[in-house]
Amino acid sequence: MAVNRAKAQSAEPRTSIVGRPVGQSPIARRTFGKEVPALDLGGISLLVINDNEFVRTYMERLFSIMRVGSVVTCANPRSARAEIATVQPDIVVIDLDLTGIDGLQLLHDIRHGGAGIASDIAILVASAHVDRDYVGKAREAGANWILVKPLTFRRLYEGLVNVIMDERTFVEGDVYVGPDRRVLVGMAGYDGVERRKDRQP
């Protein structure tokens, strides 16, 4: 994926996840059968797209506690594409429940080259919609990882880790652009691993 994992160094290597040394931290816990590593996020840049001032401030504070290297926020979803092209972040964090704009369409446009950045940019999305159909639509639009609101420190941190450690093949087809959907790794609304060999990526 687009995230350079070298930017997210593991602290105090003790165990492994997807074959890499990782560290342990007070917030580490078992998720999907694997420990969540304690990553040094000082080399990672984020762009947060959210039109709620309170939520933007809240997320900035949480990312600051995580010691993320750079966090830029975008308050106007309509200028999100231009902001992405200007900032060129490692990870885009999108609130799909935006006012006056379709969050899923924005996600789709980013994946299909409509934001002036590589289509394989890592994308973490958040939504209050927990139904399987909506989660499926977010996957179809190319999300790397889906967070269900309310957003907590733990959920945001796990989301970042899972996006950074995502090893799925990136697919660029005529219709679908995004991480290989035939392998699911604990996305919201799903349990375990799903392999759909009879379907196209």
Is the distance from CB of 3 to CB of 89 less than 8 angstroms? Answer: no
pLDDT of residue 62: 94
Terminal C-alpha separation, the chain: 16
pLDDT of residue 91: 94
Maximal CA-CA distance, the chain = 47
pLDDT of residue 196: 42
How far, in Å, CA of 108 to CA of 113, rounded? 9
* Domains of the chain and CATH, by start: 5-179 (3.40.50.2300)
The tens digit of pLDDT for each residue in 106-164 reads: 999 999 988 888 889 999 999 988 788 888 899 999 999 999 899 999 899 989 988 88
Burial per residue of 65-86, b for 16 or more beta-carbon CB atoms within 10 angstroms, e otherwise: ebebeebebbeebeebbebbee
Q: At what angle do helices 53-65 and 153-164 cross, to 10 degrees?
A: 70
pLDDT of residue 166: 82
How far, in Å, CA of 52 to CA of 70, rounded? 20
Q: Residue 52: name the closest of 156, 144, 151 by CA.
A: 151
- The DSSP symbol for 7 reads G
Which segments of the chain have a pLDDT < 50? 1, 6, 10-33, 185-201
